[in-house]
Amino acid sequence: MDVTKIDPKINSSWKETLCSEFNSSYFIELKKFLIEEKSKYKIYPPGALIFSAFNHTNFDKIKVVIIGQDPYHGTGQANGLCFSVSSGIKKPPSLVNIFQELKNDLGIPIPKNGNLEKWADQGVLLLNATLTVRENQAGSHQKKGWETFTDTVISRISELKTGVVFILWGNYAQAKEKYIDKTKHFILKAPHPSPFSAYSGFFGCCHFSKINEILRNQGLEEIDWRIE
């Protein structure tokens, strides 16, 4: 296998925007690492879903970016969208709290389903900083090259677009603020929705209604946050 030939299954709008990254030395090393990992361990999400966030949200359609950290590392959980789980999978605690805040903010009933593809299809880029993880080992694929890639994604969005709403929940996501041009984009910050910090300011942040207000003021269609 020639690991220097990289042709990711990613939406053409992103492939064009990020072509220089896929041909870079760090991405080749990342691919080598992933091949080695897959020969020894179970990796999440499945290969076809690694770039799901990009394939559901065309670069030209981005309205909102929500930044997560790692994919979920439990069986069947990760589907390539941050905070999201595939249909039929039990909702993790952070996602439960996200839905609770959504209900408090906009009165939307808490859905049974935790799959956020509907948000992504409307222009909400659900971006994890690290796109893969070893089964049952949180953070196992950090500092292998994914962060270089996703930091570039944030920078390119900031550089090439205007009026995007960036959602930074928790310290990890807020460290990405340095890649965002605050003179042409909007940033909303709050504690992480994890049970450890949700009561420190995530609950009551009203980010969902604020996002729609920002979009409305720009003459853009609001996000329909209902899952079901």
Q: Is 95 exposed, middle or buried (0-12, 13-18, 19+ CB in 10 A)?
A: buried
Digit-coded pLDDT (tens) for 114-169: 999 999 999 999 999 999 999 999 999 999 999 999 999 999 999 999 999 999 99
Q: What ranges in 10-136 are assigned the alpha helix state H?
A: 12-22, 25-40, 52-56, 93-106, 117-121
Digit-coded pLDDT (tens) for 74-117: 999 999 999 999 989 999 999 999 999 999 999 999 999 999 99
The CB-based long-range contact list for 98-107 (8 Å cut-off, 24+ gap) reads: 98/193, 100/203, 101/193, 101/198, 101/202, 101/203, 101/204, 101/205, 101/206, 101/207, 101/208, 102/208, 102/225, 104/203, 104/204, 105/206, 105/207, 105/208, 105/209, 106/208, 106/209, 106/225
Digit-coded pLDDT (tens) for 36-53: 999 999 999 999 999 999
Q: Please say if 105 is a catalytic residue.
A: no
Say whether pTM exceeds 0.85. yes
Share of the chain above pLDDT 90, in %: 92
Catalytic residue among 2, 7, 70, 105: 70
Q: Residue 1 pLDDT more than 70?
A: no
